[in-house]
Amino acid sequence: MSTKSVPTECCPQFESALWHDQIFEWKDKTFIRDTVWTFFYMPLNFGAVIKRIMAKADKSGAKVPDWLCLSDHISKWKMDIYLAVDKPVLDAFNCTLTGKFYSRVYEGPFKNTGIWCNDFKEQAKNRGLEIIKWYMWYTTCPKCAKKYGKNYVVVVGEVR
């Protein structure tokens, strides 16, 4: 996993092998959190929120390791996003995540999210893992997914 600054293109190309079927430990991994409004889970202002928190990170000189941005769909109307940063960011809601996490990479249209989640549950169960909390990582914007020819989504679960 690498630490990169803001790319000249919109979204960097995602390296799926680094995240597929992986178990890893985080200890006080630093994130900044913001909220996206949704309508029946469909984000309404995702792009604006990403631009806002990326600007805060950039202004503070923070880098974004792996361009990691986790989405926590907390209701049909709202999701929190967690942008990984390499240091605390001024004027942002700073937080940390600690624990054991399992990730799997999926590719395809967002309408397959239910299929991916069912597969993730089954794969975690097969490994003897209990999912405590779920996150989704939408690795590229729709424009860049089209440019790269792949729409990768990573399901990341805090597990025990």
Give the range of the structural domain holding residue 154, as residue numbers without chain letter: 17-159
Identify whether 57 is part of a domain. Answer: yes
Digit-by-digit pLDDT tens for the chain (160 residues) are: 544 444 446 889 999 999 999 999 999 999 999 999 999 989 999 999 999 999 999 999 999 999 999 999 999 999 999 999 999 999 999 999 999 999 999 999 999 999 999 999 999 999 999 999 999 999 998 899 999 999 999 999 999 9
Identify whether 104 is part of a domain. Answer: yes
**Looking at residue 42, which CATH number applies to its domain?**
3.20.80.10
Question: What global pTM score does this model have?
Answer: 0.90
**Number of domains composing the chain:** 1
Per residue in 64-99, is it b (16+ CB within 10 Å) or e — as a string? bbbbbbbbbbeeeeebbbbbbbeeebeebeeeebee
Q: Phi-psi bin for 50: left (phi > 0), alpha (psi -120 to 50), beta?
A: alpha
Could you tell me where the DSSP H helices lie in 60-137? 113-126
Q: Map residue 69 onto helix, strand or coil.
A: strand
Identify whether 9 is part of a domain. Answer: no
